[in-house]
Amino acid sequence: MKKIAVLTSGGDTPVMNAAIYSVVRMAKSKGMDVMGVLRGYSGLINGDLTELLPEQVEYISNQGGTILKSARCLEMLTDEGKQKAVQTLKDFGIEGLIVIGGDGSFKGARALTHMGVPAIGLPGTIDNDIAYTDYTLGFDTAVNTAAQEIAKIRTTMVSHDRICVVEIMGRHCGDMALHTGVAAEADFIIVPEVEFDLDAICEEIMARTARGRETSIIALSEGAGDSKEVADYIREKTGRDMKHVVLGYTQRGGEPTVFDRILAMKTGARAVELLEQGIGGRVVGVRNNEIVDDDIDEALAMELKFNYKLYEQYLAMTNY
């Protein structure tokens, strides 16, 4: 291939720029030109592309967000939208596409591959909700950010003998809340994968209070409930001074961790190598600390597996 394109789609992550850097620099090393698609599939459908040169991506790997912008595009779900996207790629002479995004973005890449355009997916989401890879691009940074925020919240909760429910992103996947809660030494972790009993949590809070432990942090996955509703329920049942915090978009921003940057470099390089060989319809990730690529249809069909062992180890360490 002589010309490829790269786009970022869906919710942004702190490490998308590092992936863009990797794609552009690796492609240029192999004599390929790279076009950047602005605002995801919307830009692809509307022909909003620009050439990316190596000097344009210098020093962006430590910057959060995406220089290409990102967006969700409902038009890409239609046959007409997909046809427009393919036509744009043909008009620009683009032979392959790298898509950085989540499972929804991967469905667009799969459709384009089936329509004759080799596409490769990189797992760009903080939620860690893509089954074929151990870690998605941005998950580590988001967990670090959330854990640091909980550490700050805890200091003020301790000062006032308060209990705080901290709502953490992740959609239907509890990985963000689990890893953040473990790292931040949360007193309770609530995730959608594990059945929980708020009344039992209330009883434990009162038992902790009787032992002189006035402050508790509850790490709540957004897929398991609403932080205000949980805080209100516990307040009503226990009479304790409750607060709730929604960390929100702080988890998507900021400087990416070194782990995330290196993962983005490795996966971006593999994506370019696959396209160089004319291979499309693959998604790149990491398993057992090794970079892997899988068939996109098979990857999208894989079932998410929650880390119950880590959850049980956390329970054992906090059960006193």
Kindly list the catalytic residues. 127
Strand residue runs (E) in the chain? 3-8, 33-37, 49-51, 96-101, 119-123, 163-168, 188-190, 216-221, 242-246, 282-287, 290-295
Helix, strand, coil % over all residues of the chain, rounded to 5: 45, 20, 35
Q: Which two tokens stand for residue 202?
A: 């209330």
- Dihedral sign of CA atoms 139, 141, 142, 144 in order: positive
The C-alpha atoms of residue 94 and residue 316 are separated, in whole angstroms, by 54
Query: H or E element: which one contains 134?
Result: none
- 3-state SS class at 286: strand
Distance of CA 160 to the CA centre of its chain: 34
The pair of three-digit structure tokens given for residue 67, joined into one six-digit string: 């220089």
The one-letter amino acid code at 100 reads I
136: closest CA among 48, 264, 274, 277?
A: 264
Q: In this structure, are residues 247 and 151 in contact, taking their beta carbons and an 8 Å threshold? A: no
The answer to whether 84 and 45 are in contact (CB under 8 A) is yes
Burial letters for 20-40: b for 16+ Cβ neighbours within 10 Å, e otherwise? bbbbbbbbbeeebbbbbbbbb
